[in-house]
Structure 1
Amino acid sequence: MLLAAIGLAGCAAPATTPSHTAPTWKRVWIDTFDGAAGLPPPARWSADTGGDGWGNRELEYYTPGSQNASLDGRGHLVLTADKSNQDLACWYGRCEFTSARLTTAPSSTVRYGRIEARMKVPVGAGLWSAFWMLGAPTAPNNWPNDGEIDIAENIGSEPATVHGSLHGPGYAGLDSLTATFTTPSGEPLSSRFHTYAIIWSRSSIEYLVDGEVYAIQTPDTTRGNRWVFDRPFSLILNLAVGGTWPGSPATSTVFPAQLVVDYVAVYRRS
């Protein structure tokens, strides 16, 4: 989601357990976010914090603790974006919003497999929900050379559309390799949970919504540039407010807004 990163979303998944149970896949780990209300599992997830715009001129301050990221006690992780009444500094002055951004770096990384999350995204102009990955850094400030995989991104002003993107050297920001999925009926993605996934191998990355493949990227699609998706990547969940892509919230955007995550799971081919 650095710079002009983009994302995805889709149709319905019926249960609160991972949708992909084919015997060719072996589960590596899963977070179902069960337990009492409180902080998300600290063994895997940690909070990125700050209000510097995150390369996208975002308007929120990402907070630590459970203020904007918590378990709801009903088996969900909830990331909440809200108007701020705190004295927090953002790149443009006093922060107008707070929200949350969680990462598995550096404790947990993934290299190849099926990576998926079942989520319900919020609706409203200026909201930016994202489930994505960053390549393990090989040098400071080395984006996009270390790679970025946007598994699922939705901006609230496009309620029925999800974006899936790759960013790498020569295909980053507005020039990323991007595909979109729109619900056939135009039903807003916010109306129910959907499962967003990639199937990642040495030679391809497939994008799926509720088990349906809607795009495949390969080294041949990088327009002659280097394929950098051969290293460990960390996972990120965040709910941004504003930025160069979604724009500022409208007066009709309702706060607090919530990105609700049922589970995140990683599988390996058996």
Structure 2
Amino acid sequence: MRALLRGLVAAALLGTTAVAPAAPASAAAVTVTVDALTVSLASPVEHRPFTATAKVRASQPLAVEALTVAVRDAAGEIVDFPGAIATTLTTTAKTFTTEPRAYPAGTYTYRVAYLAGGVWTNLTPARSFTVAPNPVTFEQTFDGAQGGGPNTGLSKPVWFNDPCWQAACTGSIAEYRMDHAKLDGQGHLVLTADTAVTPGARCGDKACRYAAARLTMLDWENNEGLPAWSQTGGHFEVRMRAPVGKGLWPAFWTVGGNNATVEWPLSGEIDVVETRGHEPALVEQHVHGGDPYRQWGDSTPLPAGQTIDGWHTYAVDWDAGANGSIKWSVDGVVTRTLTAAEAGATWGQSFRHAHTLILNLAVGGAGDWVGDPDANTVFPAKLVVDHVRVYQKPLA
């Protein structure tokens, strides 16, 4: 009290008015205004998280227990964005961004709302967003009895053995066999590399030294290399654990569905992920295509302390439009982007038509980039796959 009196006396001597610090007003006496309200995606799609951002001010300070962006679906159910905050609104506009959320297909109404004194107040304007369907177009979770093959549970076979090993494709020194891709009975597909080579098997002009698996959706053995499944653009992901050891080279990748009539690299290739067993803290993210041949991409480090033999989800989001892009991610974090503008003419040549899938565990090849196994490489080596999933549209 004495300090306040001293302040008033001092103010009188200076010819000014002393004002005690303003306390937050009651909600009833305050006008709260929303200056801006938007969502982060112009065209939201199912399964793709996005945020809302609001710019809010008050006619005088107002303490709120929660400031949020409230959302209602077509049935009126509460489906708010997460990330409500406690704050004090003032005459200076506050910009507030929610945490991300993905919504099912449908139309939603959203607005800013706040909780003050235990009472919720909905603000105007109310706006709407529409989430477009984004169906899963291919999915395998590998639920089946131990020993089942890679087509277990599918309505028709889509995975076939790739006979390219006979010509030593990519320089591999392993023959590829379907019996080296089996379910483990615990919800995984296991691709195994070992030394159980078929007697007399030749990898190009050399004797094969290993047996492994390369599963392709291009049916070279029965249907002249036509794809059993293919798609133009979308979200492609795999969750897997890769083996560590020199010479081990697993990959999940796409290749042009026209590969039977348009040779690689013009047909196009998108490496969702490759790993090299002697570089366990790195993953490889590349594309190949065009005539003349072009390639983009590089090594991407995993977060500190993580290695390829742990579970990771690797994905590509591919917008195949004329001004589209390819975005790579590891565990939901975008790590690399290639735009159509950067790819130039190669984009139209190789990345605007349907691609199909390949999942493999190679041994050796690619010169020094992979190299052959050494004395420290342990066999059998296993690539363990939890799921493969594709959405019709990109998620990033």
TM range (shorter): 0.7 to 0.9
Following the alignment from structure 1 to structure 2, what is the Cα–Cα distance between the partners of residues 104 and 48?
A: 9
Give the CA deviation at 1:268. 2.1
> Retained in 2: the 8 A contact 1:151–1:196?
yes
Pick one of 299, 303, 324 that aligns with 1:184. 303
Deviations 1:199-233 (A, max 9, x none): 11121110010000011111222265443211111
Paired residue for 1:114? 235
Instruction: From the CA coordinates, give the structure whose radius of gyration is larger.
Output: 2
Following the alignment from structure 2 to structure 1, what is the Cα–Cα distance between the partners of residues 208 and 281?
A: 29
Paired residue for 2:268? 147
Paired residue for 2:149? 39
Following the alignment from structure 1 to structure 2, what is the Cα–Cα distance between the partners of residues 62 and 186?
A: 33
CA RMSD of aligned residues (A): 2.2
Following the alignment from structure 1 to structure 2, what is the Cα–Cα distance between the partners of residues 140 and 242?
A: 28
> Retained in 1: the 8 A contact 2:172–2:203?
no
Map 1:1-270 onto structure 2 (within 5 A). 22-23=102-103, 25-37=134-146, 38-41=148-151, 43-49=157-163, 51-64=165-178, 66=179, 68-87=180-199, 88-105=201-218, 106-137=227-258, 140=261, 142-170=263-291, 172=293, 176-190=295-309, 192-201=310-319, 202=321, 203-222=324-343, 225-227=346-348, 228-244=350-366, 245-269=369-393
In structure 2, the gaps of 5 or more residues are: 1-46, 50-101, 104-130, 219-226
**Larger helix fraction of residues:** 2
SS in 2 for 1:158: coil
104-113 vs 217-226, which moves further: 217-226
Compared with structure 1, are the counterparts of its residues 139 and 77 closer, same or farther at alpha carbon in structure 2 (3 Å cutoff)? Answer: closer
SS in 2 for 1:221: helix
Compared with structure 1, are the counterparts of its residues 54 and 132 closer, same or farther at alpha carbon in structure 2 (3 Å cutoff)? Answer: farther
Following the alignment from structure 1 to structure 2, what is the Cα–Cα distance between the partners of residues 20 and 219?
A: 22
SS in 1 for 2:371: coil
In the superposition, the TM-score normalised over structure 2's length comes to 0.59
Give the CA deviation at 1:184. 2.4
In structure 1, the gaps of 5 or more residues are: 1-18
Give the CA deviation at 1:53. 4.8
Following the alignment from structure 2 to structure 1, what is the Cα–Cα distance between the partners of residues 239 and 291?
A: 31
Give the CA deviation at 1:176. 1.5
SS in 2 for 1:132: strand
The one-letter code sitting in structure 1 at the alignment partner of 2:216 is T
Give the CA deviation at 1:164. 0.9
Following the alignment from structure 1 to structure 2, what is the Cα–Cα distance between the partners of residues 138 and 102?
A: 15
Which gives a bigger RCO, structure 1 or 2 (Cα 8 Å, sep 6+)?
A: 1
The one-letter code sitting in structure 1 at the alignment partner of 2:208 is C
Give the CA deviation at 1:74. 0.8
Following the alignment from structure 1 to structure 2, what is the Cα–Cα distance between the partners of residues 40 and 210?
A: 24
> Retained in 2: the 8 A contact 1:113–1:200?
yes
Compared with structure 1, are the counterparts of its residues 252 and 20 closer, same or farther at alpha carbon in structure 2 (3 Å cutoff)? Answer: farther
> Retained in 1: the 8 A contact 2:168–2:204?
no
216-225 vs 232-241, which moves further: 216-225
Give the CA deviation at 1:111. 1.2
Give the CA deviation at 1:169. 1.4
> Retained in 2: the 8 A contact 1:123–1:159?
yes
Compared with structure 1, are the counterparts of its residues 43 and 55 closer, same or farther at alpha carbon in structure 2 (3 Å cutoff)? Answer: closer
> Retained in 2: the 8 A contact 1:104–1:235?
yes
Following the alignment from structure 1 to structure 2, what is the Cα–Cα distance between the partners of residues 50 and 260?
A: 22
Compared with structure 1, are the counterparts of its residues 79 and 139 closer, same or farther at alpha carbon in structure 2 (3 Å cutoff)? Answer: closer
The one-letter code sitting in structure 2 at the alignment partner of 1:84 is A
Following the alignment from structure 1 to structure 2, what is the Cα–Cα distance between the partners of residues 230 and 223?
A: 12
In the superposition, the TM-score normalised over structure 1's length comes to 0.84
Following the alignment from structure 2 to structure 1, what is the Cα–Cα distance between the partners of residues 48 and 380?
A: 32
Deviations 1:167-187 (A, max 9, x none): 111574xx5201332112142
Compared with structure 1, are the counterparts of its residues 213 and 71 closer, same or farther at alpha carbon in structure 2 (3 Å cutoff)? Answer: same
> Retained in 2: the 8 A contact 1:149–1:165?
yes
Following the alignment from structure 1 to structure 2, what is the Cα–Cα distance between the partners of residues 139 and 222?
A: 24
Give the CA deviation at 1:139. 5.9
